[in-house]
Amino acid sequence: MIDLHTHSTVSDGSYTPTELVVHSSINGIRHLALTDHDTVDGLDEANIASKEHGISLIPGIELSAQWQNRTLHIVGLSIDPTDPSFQTTISEAKRTRADRARLIGARLEKAGVKYAYRLTRELAGTDLLGRLHFAKMLVEQGYAKDFKQVFKRYMVRGKPGYASAEWIDTEAAIKVIHQAGGVAVMAHPARYSLSMGQLRKALRDFKYFGGDAMEVVSGNSHPQEIASMSRLADDYSLSASVGSDFHGPEKPWVKLGRLQTLPINISTVWTVHDLW
Ligand code: AMP
Ligand code: MN
Ligand code: MN
Ligand code: MN
């Protein structure tokens, strides 16, 4: 089994890198990529654990990137986290994320959520806060009943818990992943609420900027979505990746490594790029 998109406590996941590796091993995963949002801080720990548990670990990241006033997520696989220009990019991304979190906190406080920043910071155990951390805090404090409701009411554009951020642009994100020796993958293309026309434009640009692959199978993709993503991968000459986007047991609809299979004749990112 293969899972090339997962999160740990270093970003907004709920398992530590070691716990993630242990659960992956229990679930029968052989090839695992840890792809935390805008950070590689979990890779050393995951690497040590992976040797103990017989897993081949692909060092990864999920970079937040700008495309036409929207945010896209670009997964970098098989990156060298020590590459100097890559490290510069990550430090900037971390600063952007930390600054945005202060802004989200302030906006929520203004909307009546007391101690929004402090409570979220405590719950997260990191200052690299994401929207999921704020969402968890809001549910815990009783402002909404579940993730679905909390995102809709608070965490999307136009709502009090949303603040835009100036992420790196998509072309630069792809370049820096390549600079670090990695493969650039468009994460969960079906999850951006883009129309088919806009999604095609995004993929066309992604390919034009040098992007290599796209996730054809994601966490809870259904067969129809997989068919349509396979078609797009073929149309834009992108190889296919598979990743659950696992964050933890509190999103029970996404299981670590439990993924639908790819169509048999599709080019996979691991064969095209010799990932293992
Ligand atoms: P951020 O990168 O901080 O803007 O947050 C994006 C993260 O928020 C994603 O990786 C998910 O973990 C989470 N997320 C976004 N939309 C939803 C949703 N509707 N339900 C649950 N989690 C979501
Ligand atoms: Mn996340
Ligand atoms: Mn994402
Ligand atoms: Mn993700």
* Residue pLDDT, tens place only, 41-77: 999 999 999 999 999 999 999 999 999 999 999 999 9
Structure tokens at 141: 């404090």
Residue 101 CA to ligand 1 centre (angstroms): 14
Which pLDDT score is estimated for 220? 87
Rounded distance between C-alpha atoms, residue 110 and residue 94, angstroms: 24
Containing H/E element for 193?
none
**pLDDT at 89 (0 to 100):** 98
Please identify, by atom number, the ligand 1 atom nearest to the C-alpha of residue 73: 2
Predicted local distance difference test score (pLDDT) of residue 106: 98
What confidence tens digit (pLDDT) does each residue in 24-39 have?
999 999 999 999 999 9
| Residue closest by Cα to atom 16 of ligand 1 | 151
Token reading at 41: 């801080």
Distance between alpha carbon 92 and the CA centroid of its chain, in Å?
Answer: 17
Decide if pLDDT at 259 tops 90. Answer: no
Q: Are strands 183-186 and 31-34 parallel, antiparallel or unpaired?
A: unpaired
pTM over 0.95: yes
Q: Compute the average pLDDT of residues 167-179.
A: 98
- 3-state SS assignment for residue 48: helix
**What is the rounded distance in angstroms from the CA atom of residue 77 to the CA atom of residue 100?**
26
Strand partners, 62: 37, 75
- For residue 260, how many other CB atoms are within 10 A of its CB? 15
The model's confidence at residue 258, banded by pLDDT at 50, 70 and 90, is: confident
Task: Say if CB 247 and CB 254 are below 8 A apart.
Answer: yes
> What is the enclosing helix (H) or strand (E) of 6?
none
Residues contacting 145, CB < 8 A, separation 6+:
139
Q: Are strands 70-77 and 56-67 parallel, antiparallel or unpaired?
A: antiparallel
Name the residues around ion ligand 2, CB cutoff 5 A: 12
CA distance 115 to 108: 9
In short, whether 221's Cβ falls inside 6 Å of ligand 1 is no
- The pLDDT assigned to 127 comes to 82
Q: Is 151 close to ligand 1, i.e. is its CB under 6 Å away?
A: yes
Q: pLDDT per residue over 203-215, tens digit each?
A: 999 999 999 999 9
CA angle 26, 28, 30 (to 5 degrees): 120
Q: Bridge partners of 169? A: 66
What ligand has the least distance to the C-alpha of 38?
1
Within 8 A by CB and 6+ apart from 90, the residues are 38, 39, 40, 61
Half-sphere exposure of 85 (CA within 13 A, CB side): 11
Q: Is the CB of 206 under 6 A from ligand 1?
A: no
Ligand 1, from 62, 74, 104, 132: best to mutate by most atoms within 8 Å of Cβ?
132
Instruction: Give the model confidence (pLDDT) of 108-119 as tens digits.
Output: 999 999 999 999
Tokens of 184: 């650039």
